[in-house]
Amino acid sequence: MNNSLLLHDYWKQLYPELSSQKLDEFLSSLQPRKDDHLPDDWYKDAIVYSLYVDLYNVDFNGLADKLDYIQNLGVNCLWLLPVLESPMRDAGFDISKYDRIRPELLGLAPESTKEDQELVFGSFLKEAHNRGIRVIFDVAINHTSDEHPWFIESKRKVVNEFSDFYIWRDKPNEYLDARLLFKGIEDSNWEKYEDRYYFHRFFSFQPDLNYRNPDVLLAMTRNMLYWQSVGIDGFRADAIPYLWKEDGTDCENLDLTHTIVKFFRAALDYVNPGTLLLAEACQKPKEVVKYLGDNDECHAAYHFPLMPMIFKSIAKGDSQPIRNTLSSDVTPEIGQENQWFSFLRVHDELSLELVYVSEEDRKYIHESYCHNPSWNFRVGEGISARLSELMNRDINKISLAYSIMLTLLGTPVVYYGDEFGKLNDEKYYNEQIKLTGKDDTRFFVRGRIDWDELDANLKDEDNFHSQVYKIISSMLNTRKDHSAFGRGDLDFVNVLNAKGEQENKVLSYFRTHGDEKILVINNLSSEKLVLSNPLPENNLAVLNMNNFLMDDDSIVLQPNGFVWFLVV
């Protein structure tokens, strides 16, 4: 079925009582095209680098100045954390205009035009694309800022075209089974305005959109198509599980939410196939894979449970948490066209939501890594700390975590600053509390880069940041040269210790793609391990390593050491 017919089918599922007139008018305004330079599955070979433009280097001109640094890291995709117009009460996830970038990020005056924006941003995209770097950014599709013109009009007593863009009730007595996502920060999903209430799943200044109104669906689709036309390579679809609401349910992962996502995908494919849709769905893998559909929803999705299990495996010195999480009992197979995205840290907390982490695991990981009570988030359901802080600034543990994440599964995401061991930023945290009025501990993990200080640190071989950078950048550049990491099969292998026993302190696996076969061995423990060579008949070429040596036919890994072999 072609995309036009698909869009009509999805429309009928969402709005069975409506004619297709609005949809037909919408489709008649579209101009299908195909950019030959954009392979449809480019994201499988991506190494993603996530950053805030202003915190990274002031604005897009500053970011353009750092593209060589980013390219030299081995990165070939930028994930721009929220850049759209916003009052910045939630780091830009509270969007007030979907078709405008914040002018200060472009070095423009507040009164600058859309054409001015397209000129500056288009120039940046050209610079990135010339270096082979794709660019994706966040779009919050579940909610807006309460300063969005839609909401300003919607809250007026006079009925207008935006009155039904949000969910208003005279009493807060619907959707009561929807869980409170910001436990400890918000005390209700309903917020009172004058004599009515509006529904929200996140902060009270982020009202949820009403997708029962077809004008909302079309407006959001137009927003994505606009940025596609400007040259964006993809979208991280924020808070995707919550789009459709049904009273008497938990308002998560509902069938018509999937229909909305299918509509977005079909519209983007109708105009220009190859524009990435990345699902941000904090759910169990069996729910997350539904957002990939039959390759008709998102192209890729984050594997949320894998992240905390990496931390658990390192804390316990035991491979089973990771192996169990990636078993078919927990992680279903995905289609050939689809991809998991993996990460250690992002702009949010180390999430321990009970949606995909057991209470036992939540408690263990929290106790193992929340070294400072001020890092607590959502009453124990998260830890707000940078990777280097979580690992107690232990270079070997930081390196081990990256070895696992970069070689184990799918497309990796590197959070800006983690490549040099950036620390928690208390100054930024305190600034943002004053600005937002919310004690959101996630502000610890954000913050600015002082490039002069960093340059000095990187020139000092004995500096902590320099040592972390040397190891991580080496791994990233090795990763980019081997397609098996992004496209290959994953097969766990049992490695024997000197006693001939299976060593569960080791996480080892093959990554195989075509003629390329790579063996990765990670020592999860704080002990020196002497291991039998699992491939004594093969030549093993070292691609990357830390705290490793070969001793005759034995593989010796010092505490938290690792080695990546190319099997020849």
Taking alpha carbons only, the member of 265, 291, 278, 239 closest to residue 50 is 278
Three-class DSSP category at 181: coil
Q: By the 8 A CB rule, do 140 and 79 touch?
A: no
CA-CA distances (angstroms) from residue 549 to 470, 472, 552, 558? 19, 19, 10, 9
What's 497's DSSP letter? B
- Cα gap 524→306, rounded to integer Å: 15
Residue 518, C-beta contacts closer than 8 angstroms, at least 6 positions apart? 407, 482, 484, 485, 488, 510, 511, 512, 543, 564, 565, 566, 567
- Cα gap 286→303, rounded to integer Å: 10
Residue 534, C-beta contacts closer than 8 angstroms, at least 6 positions apart? 493, 495, 496, 508, 519
Residue 516 — φ and ψ, nearest 5°? -95, 130
Residue 535, C-beta contacts closer than 8 angstroms, at least 6 positions apart? 519, 565, 567
Strand partners, 548: 557
- Cα gap 307→301, rounded to integer Å: 13
User: Which residue of the set 94, 146, 191, 280 is catalytic?
Assistant: 280
- b/e code 267-280 from CB counts within 10 Å (16+ = b): bbbbbbebbbbbbb
DSSP β-ladder status, 350-351 and 376-377? unpaired
Kind plus residue range of the DSSP H or E element containing 101: strand 97-101
- Cα gap 78→414, rounded to integer Å: 10
Kind plus residue range of the DSSP H or E element containing 224: helix 214-230
Q: By the 8 A CB rule, do 421 and 388 touch?
A: yes
What is the CB neighbour count within 10 angstroms for residue 170? 8
Six-digit token string for 494:
């049992």
Give the Cα-Cα-Cα angle 562, 566, 568 (nearest 5 degrees). Answer: 145
- Cα gap 322→429, rounded to integer Å: 32
Taking alpha carbons only, the member of 491, 505, 559 closest to residue 527 is 559
User: Which residue of the set 90, 146, 238, 418 is catalytic?
Assistant: 238
**Rounded (10°) CA dihedral 192, 193, 197, 199:** -90
- Cα gap 46→75, rounded to integer Å: 8
CA-CA distances (angstroms) from residue 39 to 199, 283, 508? 40, 29, 32
**Is 280 annotated as catalytic?**
yes
- Cα gap 549→350, rounded to integer Å: 33
Residues tagged active-site: 238, 280
